[in-house]
Amino acid sequence: MSADVRYARNGRVAVAHQILGDGPIDLVLVPGFASHLDVMWEEPRLAVFLDLLAARARLILYDAREQGLSDRLGRAPTLAEHVDEARACVPVEGVVRRRVIETDAHDPVPGVGVESDFVWHRNLRR
């Protein structure tokens, strides 16, 4: 169940993202070293996994700057910029709880000091 691609602004950068599902929590999937919102839906096993997540949560997917459908500025974002770009993609209305699934490329994100906005954790738990 792919969703329309939307674009959120973070300064000069347009960050491509998709929002799927309407479950009781927001689940932000932080991309790894490479991502492309359109291409990820072409991998059947990944599409099934994302659909399962979206069935239990409001799933937020995004392409980081320099990746996929997001803008390119000719340099990779700093960790703080990457977190700001993720925040730009996350709607604030209706949020009860928020969880983040990190990939290996961005460990450890909690050092950025965003704990007040995101509850960071490594395992998907109820």
CATH of the domain at 64: 3.40.50.1820
Does 49 map to a domain? Answer: yes
Domain count, the chain: 1
End-to-end CA distance of the chain: give it in Å, rounded.
23
Average pLDDT over residues 76-104: 73
- Return the DSSP state at 69: T
Using DSSP's 3-state secondary structure scheme, residue 99 falls into strand
99: containing domain: 6-120
pLDDT reading at 63 higher than 60:
yes
Does 125 map to a domain? Answer: no
- Picking from 91, 87, 89, the residue whose alpha carbon sits closest to that of residue 22 is 91
- Six-digit token string for 98: 């928020």
Per-residue burial over 51-60, b if 16 or more Cβ lie within 10 Å, else e, is eebbeebbbb
Does 126 map to a domain? Answer: no
| Res. 28 pLDDT band, cuts 50 70 90 | confident
pTM of the model: 0.76
pLDDT reading at 42 higher than 80:
yes
